Every structure is written in structure tokens, then in C-alpha cells.
A and B are shown apart, each in its own frame.
Chain A
Amino acid sequence: MAAVARRQVRPPAWRRALPENLTAWSFVLPASVLVLGLGFFPVIWSFLLSTKSSNGFGPEHGVGLANYRELAHDAEWLAAVKRSLEFTALYVPVTVLLGLGLALLLNQKIRFIGFYRTCFFVPFVASAAATGVIFLYVLDPQYGIVDNVIAWMGLSRQQFLDDPDQALFLLAPIYTWTAVGFDILIYLAALQDVPQDQHEAARIDGAGRFAVFWHVILPAVRPITVLAVVWETINALQFFDIAWATKRGGPIDATTVIIVYGYKLGFVDGEQGLGAAVACVLFVAIVLLVVMQVGYARWRKLDVV
């Protein structure tokens, strides 16, 4: 009797799971809505816009894939892509290696280490506009401190960001300065996961500092390195804020990278369809990059995704 009664009150499996599922969904729903609303919806909307001819004020009309065809023959677009690739090649290796190097230095048991770590992380949370303005002042050809030091050392003054040949090459280290805090952070986390006994074992076997780094630490942080390289490559391809805050893509077009070009097309030239096409092409390129990363990680059985 008692057993029957128990069986009667016991709900079916799906119903038993329901409150649990509801709880789970209530946790992930806000984030899902945010991701869909702020990530997914704009992508769809951009794609729809990229099939139209619109200047943001007048009537729009559909043009199919004409905007993409126009891009394929647009010398300025190709120049912008080339600049973005140059920027990426300059920025990514330096940022990732510097991140690792600084993380190794900051992984010591010394006094005030928390303060040092904070110092390196502050530029990462500073706004890009503020960073841009600071560097405009520091590198100003008339009254900037760097040029004054150079002149004091008896070297010729530089135009820095005002020089079309230097501007892009300078923006890469500036961006590294702002972004390297993130790489330091993830490398620090990874370094603290390296088992202490492996360190000790290697030491006992007579390995020097470099051998420990090469044979113990580097393999241990490889998954993080893959993540950092892909993450920073995406950032480099999407580079916009500091380029816009400092030079609006100038001098002439020297810092007009992909997103700056798309922004100019859409909001300065009044060709919103074409600007959206630029965004869509970049989106597809980045998705391919991420797919490649996941593929590589699975193939090497790296535990990053």
C-alpha cells in the first residue's frame, strides 16, 4: 500500500526534470537573449543591409550581391585588407610573446606582486578613446615628450602618427600596450596550473631554467597559446577604435584598416550597403578562423574549446 502510494506521487521522468531544466534555463536565458540580441540579430541585419543601396536618409532599394561584386573590384578595399593583414602580422606575435614573457616575470613570489600585476592590467580596461588621445599627445611632433627626448639626444625629430609611412607601424605597439594585459592574465592562470612536481622533477634531472621553460612550461601553456593567437588575430582584424580616435584612418589613408574603411563607406561616404558588405566579409573570415582553431585544437587534442 505504502509502495503504491509512493509510486502514485512520483511524477514521470520529464516532469521530474522540468524544474531542474527551468532552473537551468533561468540561469542561461538572460545571457542567451543578450547574445542573440546583441550578436546574432545585428549580423543578420547587416547582411540584409549589405544587399541594399542606402545612404541612411533616402529610399533604399535591393541590389542583390552587387555590393560584394563592387568590393571585389575596389582597389581601396584591397588596400585596406592589405593594411589589416600587415597590422595583424605586426601585432599578434609581439602581443602574444610579450604576454607570455610578462606573465613569467609576474609569476614570481615577490613583494607587491599584486600591485605589479594590476599595473599591467590597467591599460586593458582603459577606454580606447582615452588611450588614443594620450598617445596623440605623447607622440605629437610639435610638443610631444617622445620627440623632445629624441631632439635632446641629437636625433632628427619624427612625424610619428602624422607620417603616412609610420602611422600604422606605430598603432600596432600602441594597441599591444592596451591589449597585452589580457594575454598576461590568461598566461598567468595557465602558469599557475603547471604542476609543481613536474618543475621539481625536471630540476632534479638537472634541467636548467631554459630547459624547464622549453620542456615543461611551454608544452603546458600550448592550449592557451593557441587561444591567445586566435583571439588576438580576431582583435587585430577588427581593429578600429584607436585608429579612429587618433587619426580617423589618416594621414591620407595610412591607417584605414578594414573596419575603418567600412565605417567610412557607411557613415562618411553615405554608402551603407557597401559598408555592411565589408562587415559581412570580415565576419565570414573570422568565423572561418575560429572553425580552423577548433579543428586544430581537436586534432591536437588540446583542451581549449
Chain B
Amino acid sequence: MVQFNKTHPGIVVNDQLGSNGDEMVQKLQAVIGSDNYPDIAYVYGSDVPNVSQSSKVVDISKDIKATGFDWNSLYPAGRETATVGTKVVGFPAVIDNLAVVYNTKLFKAAGVAPPKASWTWSDFRAIAKKLTNASKDVIGTGFPISGSEDTTWRLWPMIWQQGGEVLDKSNKKALFAGPQGVKALQLLSDMALKDKSLYPDQTPDTQKMYGLFDSGKMAMIVTGPWQLPDIQDHHVPYGVQVLPAYGTSHETISGPDVYMVFNHSDARRKAAVTFLAWLHQPAQDLQWDIGSGNLPLSSKTAALPGIAQFDKKYVGIDLFVKNLSNAHHIRPPVTGYTQVSVAVGKAIATSLLGRGSPKDTLAQAAKAADKALS
């Protein structure tokens, strides 16, 4: 940022810490209501359609063209999330995806072979059960059940892998409560309640689950590349593998977040786009990725020779990069998605705490979702 301000006289960028993703939206609601909103804000992908309803969000595709930035070099998942209808509302901020990170030391100690790329969800369950050791306070895996989007989005790839869908084609009707959804949630709830090999984490930021993994008390976590720097800080010896499959599909979910641009005036909007275009130049992107452990945002970045340094610094990150090709669906880009997410998050929490069967809780969530989408 200091570098940008130095090289771009006439534009001054100030940074301001908003808050973490889920609460960012609440903050934005407050500041947009009072006209005291920022030029750029980091918004979770699932919130982008909602926030885009604001009159302060305008199409910036012409501004991007004017900067000469090669928009199409960005990975498609990022571009799609930053586009609502025909409007480009920002730049992709982070592209991630889910894979399994496992503690190699715990695997070795239990005499379990590291997971293969062809593993299935029943392998996942068996391994988690085997690695759970109550006398040593070690548990197989965890699952966030705070009920936020971090709870919900983890169910989607399990449904997609079986050929199921979240919503129907018109985005008006929930399909997640079908047999695929029930089967997926049943597996998780059996692991939590019968095997006791899955720790349901109620903390708002999932800090318990990650904390257990960081302290060597959890064998596997389903997570994204953002967690690797933290794991490295705690010196946990780890490996990374793609998500288990139902059958042969190891489909994952990629949930890109977006730097949304808010319109104050033509000049300020153009300045904001200039800044973001600069930030997304391959050289900048790479520097950012090496510092933070985020995945490259464009194929151009991934082709830079410096990427070797990135792969070396974050062991296993190359699997996350490759895993992007296992992301085929995107989350339903509809404004009602927020309520769908809340309803499904509650269904998952209820099931994993043993307060309702997966079938009933999902059916109830589907009812709430249908109402929100109608």
C-alpha cells in the first residue's frame, strides 16, 4: 500500500480494519445507511448478491477496461463471484477451496497410512474413528456448527459429489434436503454421535476446531489454504489431500471473496479501480500470496517463476492450487442465499448435537429456504 501511494501521486489509499467476514456485512449495513461508507470493502462471496442491491454498488467493468487490466486472466471462479447479473461489482479478493489437512504425526503414531487421492467418505469415517483416542484427548476431526456460512458451505460439495443440487435451476426451490443431503448429514452426525470421532465446534470463528488441530489434538480438518500459515506457526507436521469422494468425484467448493467497490464519485471510483487493478497485477499478487498464503488469483501469477518460492513456503499449497480444478459449482448467487445459509446451518447444528434427525432438520430448513426464495 505504501508502495502504491508512492507510485501513484494523486491517489491516497488508507487502510482500515473492518472486522471478520460475517460481521463485515453488519458493519456495511450501518455505514451505507449513514452514507459514511468506504470506497472498497472486503465482502464474503455469499454476501455479494445482497450487498450489490445497494445503489452505491455500480458496474465497474468500463473502469477496469480503462486501466488496461487483463480481467480475463483472473480465474473464472473469482470473476463469476465478482459479477452479479451483468454487473462487475469488484475484484476477487481471495480464491480458496476445501481440502483435508491432516496431522502426519498422529497418523504415524496410530499406524494409519496417509489418505490417498482416491479415498472415500467411508475411509474418512473409518480413519477418524481409528485416530480418536479419548485417553489422550485426541479426536479424529471437527466440524463448525456456529450456524454461519462456514457451517453450511461444507455440506455443499458432499451433495454435489453425489449428483445432487442445492437449489433447482430457477433458484426458487431448495433441493438440498434430498437423499444426497440427508446421506451427507447422516454421515457427519453418525461421526459426531455414534463414533464420537467428530468434534462439533460452536465457537463463532471455529477457533476451537483449529485450536485443537494446532495443538496436535485433532487428526484431520476440512479447511482451506488460509489455515496453513497458522498451522505452520504451531509447528504441526501436516499433509494435504483432496476431499474424500462418494464414488469417484472429489468435487470441492471454491468460495471466492470480493473486494467490492462502492461509488462516491467518478474520480474516487476510478481511483479505487486503479488501486485494485494494481493490486491484482501478477507481481503484486504473488507478493501478497507469499506473505499471506492466499492462492494466486490469476493464471498469470501462477505462471511466474517466483511461484516456486510460494509452493516451498507453504507445504501442500500446490494441492490447493490444483484442487481449484475440482470446483465445478458455485454457491447459488441469489439474494435469498443468506437465509438459506442460516436455515441449513441450523439444521446441521441441530443434527450434530443430536436434537433432530438429518432428514427432519433438513426438511425444515428446506421449508424455510423455499419461503425465503419465493
Q: Which of B137, B204, B208, B339 contacts A270 (CB 8 A)?
A: B339
Contact yes or no, A58 B146, CB < 8 A: no
Contacts of A302 in B (CB 8 A): none
| Interface majority SS (helix, strand, loop, mixed), chain A | loop
Contact yes or no, B32 A250, CB < 8 A: no
Closest A residue, CB atoms, query B53: A58
Which of A57, A253, A267 counts the most chain B CB atoms within 10 A? A57
* Min distance, Cβ A263 to any Cβ of chain B, angstroms: 9
Contact yes or no, B353 A251, CB < 8 A: yes
Contact yes or no, B50 A268, CB < 8 A: no
| A248 contacts the other chain (CB 8 A) | yes
Closest B residue, CB atoms, query A271: B339
* Min distance, Cβ B243 to any Cβ of chain A, angstroms: 26
Instruction: Tell me, in angstroms, the Cα distance from A56 to B335 when the chains sit together.
Output: 12
Of the candidate stretches B13-21, B94-102, B312-320, B342-350, the one touching chain A is B342-350
Instruction: Tell me, in angstroms, the Cα distance from A59 to B28 when the chains sit together.
Output: 15
Contact yes or no, B146 A248, CB < 8 A: yes
Instruction: Tell me, in angstroms, the Cα distance from A162 to B54 when the chains sit together.
Output: 37
Beta-carbon contacts under 8 Å, A198-253 to B: 247-248, 250-253
Contacts of B350 in A (CB 8 A): 252
| A269 contacts the other chain (CB 8 A) | yes
Q: Which of B51, B339, B349 contacts A250 (CB 8 A)?
A: B349
| B147 contacts the other chain (CB 8 A) | yes
* Min distance, Cβ A260 to any Cβ of chain B, angstroms: 13
Contact yes or no, B355 A58, CB < 8 A: no
* Min distance, Cβ A78 to any Cβ of chain B, angstroms: 16
Interface 0/1 of B145-169, CB less than 8 Å to A: 1110000000000000000000000
Contact yes or no, A57 B349, CB < 8 A: no
Contacts of B54 in A (CB 8 A): 57-58
Instruction: Tell me, in angstroms, the Cα distance from A272 to B338 when the chains sit together.
Output: 14
User: Size of chain B's interface in residues, with CB distance under 8 A?
Assistant: 28
Contact yes or no, A250 B147, CB < 8 A: yes
Instruction: Tell me, in angstroms, the Cα distance from A267 to B22 when the chains sit together.
Output: 10
Contact yes or no, A56 B32, CB < 8 A: yes
Total contacts A to B, CB within 8 angstroms? 58
Contacts of A268 in B (CB 8 A): 26, 338, 342
User: Size of chain A's interface in residues, with CB distance under 8 A?
Assistant: 20
Closest B residue, CB atoms, query A270: B338
Instruction: Tell me, in angstroms, the Cα distance from A108 to B53 when the chains sit together.
Output: 63
Contact yes or no, A57 B353, CB < 8 A: no
Contacts of A267 in B (CB 8 A): 25-26, 29
Closest B residue, CB atoms, query A268: B342
| A173 contacts the other chain (CB 8 A) | no
Closest B residue, CB atoms, query A58: B53
| B33 contacts the other chain (CB 8 A) | yes
Q: Known contacts being A55-B50, A164-B353, A267-B29, is A248 close to B346, with CB within 8 Å?
A: no
Contacts of B353 in A (CB 8 A): 164, 251-252
Contacts of A272 in B (CB 8 A): 29
Contact yes or no, B53 A59, CB < 8 A: yes
Instruction: Tell me, in angstroms, the Cα distance from A268 to B355 when the chains sit together.
Output: 23
Interface 0/1 of B27-47, CB less than 8 Å to A: 011001100000000000000
Instruction: Tell me, in angstroms, the Cα distance from A142 to B349 when the chains sit together.
Output: 19
Contacts of A247 in B (CB 8 A): 202
* Min distance, Cβ B189 to any Cβ of chain A, angstroms: 14
Contacts of A253 in B (CB 8 A): 346
Q: Which of B29, B202, B346 contacts A162 (CB 8 A)?
A: B202
Closest A residue, CB atoms, query B339: A269
Instruction: Tell me, in angstroms, the Cα distance from A267 to B202 when the chains sit together.
Output: 20
* Min distance, Cβ A127 to any Cβ of chain B, angstroms: 17
Contacts of A59 in B (CB 8 A): 53, 55
Contact yes or no, A270 B349, CB < 8 A: no
A-B contact pairs, 12 of them (CB 8 A): A55-B53, A56-B32, A57-B29, A58-B53, A162-B202, A248-B146, A252-B147, A252-B350, A252-B353, A267-B25, A268-B26, A270-B339
* Sample of 13 further A-B pairs with CB below 8 A, known A58-B335, A252-B346, A269-B339: A55-B335, A56-B29, A56-B32, A57-B29, A58-B54, A248-B146, A251-B145, A267-B25, A268-B26, A269-B338, A270-B50, A270-B338, A272-B29
